[in-house]
Amino acid sequence: MDCHSFHAIAQLLKIPEQFCKPKNCSLQRSVLDSHYQAAPSTAAVPNLDKVDFLKLQNGSDIRGVAVAGVEGEPLNLTEPVSEAIAAGFAAWLLEKKKADGSRRLSISVGHDSRISAKKLEDAISRGIAGAGLDVVQYGLASTPAMFNSTITEDDAFLCPVDGSIMITASHLPYNRNGFKFFTNAGGLGKADIKNILERAADLYNKFTAEGLTNSKGKALASVKRVDYMNVYTSDLVKAVRKAAGNIEKPLEGFHIVVDAGNGAGGFFAAKVLEPLGAVTSGSQFLEPDGMFPNHIPNPEDKTAMKAITQAVIDNKADLGIIFDTDVDRSAAVDSTGLEFNRNRLIALMSAIVLEEHPGTTIVTDSVTSDGLTTFIEKKLGGKHHRFKRGYKNVIDEAIRLNSVGEESHLAIETSGHGALKENHWLDDGAYLMVKILNKIASARASGQTGGSKVLTGLLEGLQEPAFSVELRLKINQSHQDLKGGSFRDYGEAVLKHLENYIDSDPKLQKAPVNYEGVRVSGYGGWFLLRLSLHDPVLPLNIEAPSNNDAVLLGNVVRAALKEFPALDTSALDKFVQAS
């Protein structure tokens, strides 16, 4: 930490002036640390187990186990750990914002429906307040709303805040939780998360019982609570009205059902669709329930998609909308039960965006189909830029392309994460659905009829694979073949060997431009073998005109991987042998 940053924190924490002189810069870290250390004590601190903070990092998020009781999954996201992480973020933010002490910075805190949400919200609030910043609690909220709170200008809702924390673990099981962080520049990247975790570990190691007790008292004085979701939903409603020519109820007569999966997205029915005139009867699982009793709140999950499809059919609805737990992902279903998710959702959003921005580049993750490329480039006249898996990777690549003069307005993953340039490159599931609603509303305003058939018509010409499968090949990290090396090095060696193997087969062709793994065309289809972003796994995606063609491609991979005994190919073996 530099002297400037320390002096800003020192003023907020009322650290005595004698410690703040330049000649005493060497004392700064120890003085700041002492904020969490009262008089020397031997009192035990409950739940202060040894924690490897860096293992809590999951790309640009933090994820951990927050609820005990699942065998083999020990707690590592406790209240003291969360408090330390929040204090680490506060210190990071003070440096980034170059706070001069003239005003107190503020951080908004929201959460999804998880059962550990409230205790972590309180812990996070203590960590922020303990660092001398103001806390604005939003309660149940969506991830996109938390980012928006950093750019909204509304004094009544204490906005804009300087930073924001969303407490969520997306679609993971009930015992997990985690954090996402934002400033007005967007979501934090991997390097920032690592920095925050390193700060948090340093603070955590100096916690005392008295210091933690003092932080509880300090938090009470600087925590405020507002209903920010009203601001966020109001903006969504305005966007649809504007697209329809400022009609008050542009969705009047439409029947739209929502499936929130018992996550945080239940607001969409009553706060967005109904004010726009839509009928929402038949909507389901809108009530927050962190045990997720009905299905996994995940638009990629087959059971979840079956549930919303059935709701559309049963209620004879015009459209169905489904969200993940924290509403940064979504999918839809038309009146016939056709799913708009994965490649179809990308195709639909591409069609909408390319109408508005002809010729623009659509950035996607690496597992999208060849048929999607043909659709975007031949039918829609755009450019398909296939990049790496990971929503932050896809978004950052679209931002990079714009910075070097290649126009891009949409970055979207097959998982349902989608971000638009017009919406500050935020992966916002609710905003994606608003773009779809805009299309329906504007079509009606111009005299078109047919409800969701307007959307289905946009997909005309999309070639979809007759057969597709994803197989996960695990790396056994304890196998002697790794020779003490990392699973990542082993996985890279597998990919390099496969690449060389492909070169010797004239029936196969490597993708001329590829940013992740090994992508190969042949037998009328393609396969992609890549290394997982976080886990010791090599996912294998295969798409082909038939099951037999997919087996031929599977056999190619299987033959190439025989030389790697630490790689569990049982899923691939089973697929090939069963077909």
Neighbour order of strands in the sheet with 256-259: 256-259, 319-323, 330-334, 339-340
Q: What's the pLDDT score for residue 62?
A: 97
Share of the chain above pLDDT 90, in %: 83
Whether residue 471 sits in one domain with residue 521:
yes
Q: Same structural domain for residues 300 and 374?
A: yes
pLDDT band at 32 (very low <50, low <70, confident <90, very high): very low
Q: Do 567 and 461 form a contact (C-beta atoms < 8 A)? A: no
- Give the domain CATH number at 487: 3.30.310.50
pLDDT of 378 higher than 60: yes
Q: 471 and 425: one domain?
A: no
From 206, 226, 246, give the residue that closes a domain. 226
Q: Let me know whether 273 and 302 are in one domain.
A: yes
Among 46-50, 55-59, 199-203, 283-287, the range scoring the smallest mean pLDDT is 46-50
316, 194: one domain? no
Q: Which residues span the domain enclosing 314?
A: 232-458
Cα torsion 561, 563, 564, 569: sign: positive
Q: Which of 221, 250, 224, 219 is nearest to 237 (CA)?
A: 250
Considering the domain architecture, whether residues 495 and 421 belong to the same structural domain is answered as: no
User: Is 343 contained in some domain?
Assistant: yes
Structure tokens at 72: 């083999």
**Same-domain check for residues 59 and 188:** yes
Q: Confirm whether 3 is domain-assigned.
A: no
Q: Which DSSP category does 427 fall into?
A: B
Residue 110 DSSP symbol:
E
Mean pLDDT of 169-176: 95
Given the DSSP bridges, would you call strands 418-420 and 339-340 parallel, antiparallel or unpaired? unpaired
Name the one residue in this structure whose structure tokens are 């604005």.
136
Whether 159 is covered by a domain: the verdict is yes
Residues 6+ apart with CB under 8 A from 195: 92
Of the pLDDT bands very low, low, confident and very high (cuts 50, 70, 90), residue 220 is low
Q: What percent of the chain has pLDDT over 70?
A: 89
- 222, 224, 229, 231 alpha-carbon torsion, rounded to 10°: -100
Check whether 156 has a pLDDT greater than 90: yes
In a domain, residue 43? The reply is: no
Residue 115, judged by CB atoms within 10 A of its CB (0-12, 13-18, 19+), counts as middle
Q: Is 256 helix (H, G, I), strand (E, B) or coil?
A: strand
> pTM for this one?
0.88
pLDDT at 75: 95
pLDDT grade, residue 221 (50/70/90)? confident
Q: Cα 422 from chain centroid?
A: 18
Residue 63: phi and psi, rounded to 5, are -135, 145
Contact between residue 60 and residue 396 where contact means Cβ atoms under 8 Å apart: no
Q: At what angle do helices 79-97 and 3-13 cross, to 10 degrees?
A: 120
Query: What pLDDT is recorded for position 217?
Result: 66
Q: How many domains does the chain have?
A: 3
Q: Confirm if 408 and 402 have CB atoms less than 8 A apart.
A: yes
Cα dihedral sign for 194, 195, 197, 202? positive
**Which residues are registered as beta bridge partners of 333?**
320, 339
Q: Which of 438, 458, 478 is the C-terminal boundary of a domain?
A: 458
- What's the burial of 82, exposed, middle or buried (CB within 10 Å: 0-12/13-18/19+)? buried
Asked if pLDDT for residue 364 goes beyond 80, the answer is yes
Contact 57, 192 (CB under 8 A): no
Whether the link from the prior residue into 160 is cis, omega within 30° of 0, is yes
Task: Check residue 101 and give its pLDDT.
Answer: 63
Do 411 and 305 belong together in one domain?
yes
The HSE-up count of residue 229 (CA atoms within 13 Å, CB side) is 22
Is the pLDDT assigned to residue 6 strictly greater than 60?
Answer: no
Please report the pLDDT score of residue 219 as a whole number.
Answer: 65
pLDDT tens digit string along 460-504?
999 999 999 999 999 999 999 998 899 999 999 999 999 999 998
Q: Please count the other Cβ atoms lying within 10 Å of the Cβ belonging to residue 513.
A: 8
Mean predicted lDDT score pLDDT of the chain: 90
Residue at 334 is within a domain: yes
Grade residue 98 by pLDDT with cuts at 50, 70 and 90: confident
pLDDT in tens, 52-93: 999 999 989 999 999 999 999 999 999 999 999 999 999 999
Last residue of a domain, one of 458, 485, 516: 458
Nearest of 104, 109, 182 to residue 150 by alpha carbon = 182
Q: Quick one: pLDDT at residue 429?
A: 97
pLDDT tens across 273-315, in order?
999 999 999 999 999 999 999 999 999 999 999 999 999 999 9
pLDDT at residue 340 above 60?
yes
Yes or no: say if 284 and 265 are a contact pair by the CB < 8 Å rule.
Answer: no
Residue 384 lies in a domain: yes
**Do both 425 and 558 map to the same domain?**
no
Chain mean position to CA 238: 25
Do 310 and 343 belong to one domain? Answer: yes
How many angstroms separate the CA atoms of 366 and 555, rounded?
Answer: 21
Residue 352 belongs to domain with CATH number: 3.40.120.10
As a whole number of angstroms, the distance between CA 95 and CA 115 comes to 33
Arithmetic mean of pLDDT, 415-424: 96
What average pLDDT does range 172-195 have in this prediction? 96
Task: Name the β-bridge partners of 134.
Answer: 106
Query: Can you tell me the distance from the alpha carbon of 275 to that of 295, in angstroms, rounded to the nearest whole number?
Result: 28
Among all chains, which residue has been given the structure tokens 């996402």? 180
Kindly state whether residue 12 falls inside one of the protein's structural domains. no
Which of 351, 566, 321, 324 shows the shortest CA–CA distance to 454?
Answer: 351
Nearest-CA neighbor of 465 among 550, 383, 530? 550
Confirm if 409 and 420 have CB atoms less than 8 A apart.
yes
Tokens of residue 30, six digits: 């120890």
Q: Which residue has the higher pLDDT, 265 or 4?
A: 265
pLDDT digits (tens, 9 = 90+) for 186-198: 999 999 999 999 9
| 3-state helix/strand/coil string of 462-521 | CCCCCEEEEEEEEECCCCHHHCCCCHHHHHHHHHHHHHHHHHCCCCCEECCCCCCCEEEE
CB 416 within 8 A of CB 429: yes
Pairing type for strands 518-522 and 509-510 reads antiparallel
Cβ atoms within 10 A of the Cβ of 350, count?
26
Examine residue 76 and state whether it is found in any structural domain, yes or no: yes
Residue with the larger pLDDT of the pair 84 and 221: 84
Helix pair angle (570-578, 547-560), 10° resolution? 140
Same domain, 421 and 315: yes
Say yes or no: 216 and 240 in one domain. no
Q: Cα-flanking dihedrals φ and ψ of residue 553, to 5°? A: -65, -40
